[in-house]
Amino acid sequence: MVIDVSGMIAKLRAAGGDTTDVEVKLAAGGLPVSLTATLSALANLPGGGTIILGLDERVGFRPVRIAEPQPLKQSLAAKARAFTPPVRLTIDDGIVDGEPVVVARVHECDRSAKPCRVTATGASYRRVVPARV
């Protein structure tokens, strides 16, 4: 399924950066290390959130070329299993300015299992987005 993310991108551009429930990552060279904290934080956020892979925040959320989206989606799904409890994701394709991106809906962790922790370290993360003035 191809997800229309134009509304999300418009909000990000208006905000000038990531929002509480939407974060973008370049991911041109694969999954970024910072994705671990993002997955935990969004899973711990009431309502969960969305990660869009393949956008460059520094240039107005313009797409970067993702040569092979499928391996990126597989790596993301594998990373989601490295948490206790595992992060529940819905991973789809998206299009921004005619270029493919990967859209991952991070579902909120069951309240009885919170916080969602990185299994290897026991660390958990919360979402804090600085206010922009």
Look at residue 104 and tell me whether its pLDDT is greater than 50. yes
**What integer best gives the mean pLDDT of the chain?**
93
Q: Which of 6-10, 13-17, 27-31, 44-48 has the highest mean pLDDT?
A: 44-48
**Tell me: the pLDDT tens digits for 38-76?**
999 999 999 999 999 999 999 999 999 888 899 999 999
Res 131: pLDDT: 47
Question: b/e for 82-115, b at 16 or more Cβ within 10 A?
Answer: ebbeebbbebeebebeeebbbbbebebbeeeeeb
Domains of the chain: residue spans and CATH: 2-14+21-118 (3.30.950.30)
pLDDT classification of 133: cutoffs 50, 70, 90? very low
